Amino acid sequence: QVQLVESGGGSVQTGGTLRLSCTASGYTLSRQCLGWFRHGPGKERKGVATYDRDGGLMYADSVKGRFTISTDNAKNTLYLQMNSLKPEDTGMYYCAADPCAGMGWLPWEADYKYWGQGTQVTVSS
C-alpha cells in the first residue's frame, strides 16, 4: 500500500520559514515525478514546485527564489523549504508522486497518481 505522509506545516508570521516533509512508504520516490501543491482558501489547487523523472525542477512564479524542493533518496522523503513566507502562501500543502512513464514529466495541472493527506500552512501578516 502506497502512503505519502506530509509533516512540517504550521502557523508563522510574514517572513517566517517552514520546511515541509513528505515521507513515502510502499513506493520509491527516486526517478519519479514529484511535486508540492497548494490549495489556498477559496482557490483551486495549484502546483508550487515539481521534479520531473530526470531531476528537472519547476517552480511557480510566485515562489521562485523563496521555496526550494529537494529529495533525500536514502530517507525516501521529499522536502519543500519555504523561506520569506507571505500571507498568500497560506493553504493546505500536498505532496504527490507519479511514475510519469513516457515523457518523464507532468504539467502543472496533471492528476498525479499518489497524494498525501496534506499539511496546513498559515502565514499571518
Distances (CA, A) of 43 to 22, 86, 89, 90: 23, 16, 12, 11
Question: What would the mean pLDDT of 40-62 be, rounded to a whole number?
Answer: 94
Tens of pLDDT, residues 67-107: 999 999 999 999 999 999 999 999 999 999 999 988 888 88
Q: What is the C-alpha to C-alpha distance for residues 11 and 79, in angstroms, rounded to an integer?
A: 18
Q: Evaluate the CA torsion angle 83, 61, 47, 90 in order and state its sign.
A: positive
The confidence band for 12, taking pLDDT boundaries of 50, 70 and 90, is: very high
114, β-bridge pairs: 97
Average pLDDT over residues 51-68: 95
Q: pLDDT band at residue 4, thresholds of 50, 70 and 90?
A: very high
What pLDDT, in 10s, does the model give residues 107-125?
888 889 999 999 999 999 9
Q: What is the mean pLDDT of residues 12-33?
A: 96
What's at 106, amino acid-wise? Answer: L
Give pLDDT, residue 104.
Answer: 86
Q: Are 93 and 119 in contact (CB under 8 A)?
A: yes
Judged on CB neighbours under 10 Å (0-12, 13-18, 19+), 51 is: buried
Backbone angles phi, psi at 89, to 5 degrees: -80, -5
Is pLDDT above 90 for 8? yes
What's the CA gap between 20 and 48, in Å, rounded?
A: 12
